[in-house]
Structure 1
Amino acid sequence: MHLSPPVEPMLARSVAALPAAGARPALFEQKADGFRTLVFAGPRPFVQSRRGADLGPAFPELVAAAAAVGVEAVFDAELVVWEEDGLDFPAVQERARRRGSTARRAALERPAHLIVFDVLELSGTVLLDEPLRRRRAALEALFAERRLAAPWALCPQTSDREVALGWLDPIWGAAGIEGLVIKDPESRYRPGERGWLKLRTRITTEGIIGACTGAVTAPRSLLLGRLDAAGRLRLVARSTPLPRKAAAELGAVLRPAGEEHPWWGRTFSAGWGTKEPLVFRPVVPDLVAEVEADTARDLGRHRHPVRYLRLREDMSPGEVRA
């Protein structure tokens, strides 16, 4: 029996904190900011997206790398592009749209890498029912025996809770490590199931309240901005739905804005990855909010909704810069 694409990857569900110290044994892995990818290495190489699409035409260098491993294997990995300051998710998105000669040129100019964290098949043996600790041992042995180097990278893994806590430092987030994936070392690989845990690095930051959804007197969520170098208000985040108490407090102080507002007549998408327009109401941008966010950002915008914490009455909008 051999695995053949498409194979559903095993998934993770989000949690708010690490498991308590002294709980059942766990392995912790860094969660890199990229495309989830299954790589079929061997004479018929194939690079599969999380949803089963063929990524090979966009990333020809990874197809070549999969063909050159020297053994048939199926890897679970994160596809990333490394830039000077860290992992660059928008670069992965941009590269995923290229084909033909432009894809080949991009492979030379902005090469992709594979951060591998699991092996599902090796030398004709399907490993789905093997415990994670054995799959990891097989993966480490393969990296050593084949001397796999760029574009291959072995995902850092530890059983040390203190080391894992260090990986949640925002410094790692700035480099493109979104947080941790927490796994049971005895677990089998269950395609399509959320059998792992995912903990994102969280930071607090500020944003200028530039608009809201719902009524200004009873806002449902906030649109937040920061001032660019020219002093223009740039959208950087949208909040999660506001709790009732926060909505009442904000509804008492927000003021509707007119055509003088920099976002008047603008169109924003209702969510990341969709073109559906968001219905919002501009407000006078004179209030600053403190929010909690993860570290995933695209071209300066938070990819995921942020959580409103409180108003920063001690800060003026002029202090909130991009």
Structure 2
Amino acid sequence: MTGKKWMVFGIAAVILIAACAGWIVFHWQTPTSTTGQNREEEERSQNSDPSYSYGKREIDVTNKGQNIYGVAYVPKGKSGEMPLVICCHGLGGSYINNEDYAVSLASRGIAAYCFDFRGGGGSRSDGKTTDMSIMTEVSDIEAVLDAASQWKFVDPDQVVLLGTSQGGAASAIAAARHKDEIAGAILLYPAFLMHDEIHRQFASLDDVPDSFFFRWITLGKIYAEDIWNYDIYDEIGNYDQKVLLMHGDQDDIVPIRYSERASRVYPDADYYVIPGAGHGFYGESFRQAEKYIIDYLQEIKVL
């Protein structure tokens, strides 16, 4: 082969190698922004109404001498008082579990406040998990309600509770006890099974130790004591304003029958089953839930 042919061959080889290298870079880098969690985040961002940007403010609340950590998501470009949705996480969770809902609301001009229950597990609030119960969580919601009524950006007549799992059950109780202060209640796969689960684990209160492992968290005897003789369905129906209730038909943590019963107990409830969703809404399930939430807030004149 002549020198000229070698030169042509070499140039072609370099081009081929560069093209392959570029394909490899593209092949490995592109999926990181279009699959999995990142893809869901992009899709949720696109699904948000871009009318408002928002700011985050750390706002702590005190309850019984202990600190409750929380973050407010406040729309920018709005002045004066605005509606507030208080977001309550599930068993062992934290404020971050409901951040997607808070961001969606704030982008539409509604303030949101996500907080950690005392003794919440992944909590930045005070307290131990062994001191937490459904009733201490109700007390935390009440403390947040009281504090939020003094926040300058909040319209106290337009406060809505949003709760997931055990936070949904606590929100349902709080709404029933403060129905004149709560404009709406959004309950996502609420854990109305607590009484049954504790009775399934222990034959009597005397059998409950000072601390015990429940599902994925270590709890104290107070958790069992506060739920032992309590029937949540006897109380939640006292909330006579419209409720939004959602549950996934593939939930293997809280069976859907508990929400089906609640939908019959409430005097006025919009009840939706999310097909294919488990204990938590992600991707398409999140978008469905988001739409129902926005429709509901419009229906109760909050949005």
TM-score (norm 2): 0.24
If each structure's strand is expressed as a fraction of its own residues, which one has the higher value?
1
TM-score (norm 1): 0.23
If each structure's helix is expressed as a fraction of its own residues, which one has the higher value?
2
* Structure whose alpha-carbon radius of gyration is higher: 2
User: Greater RCO between the two (CA within 8 Å, min separation 6)?
Assistant: 1
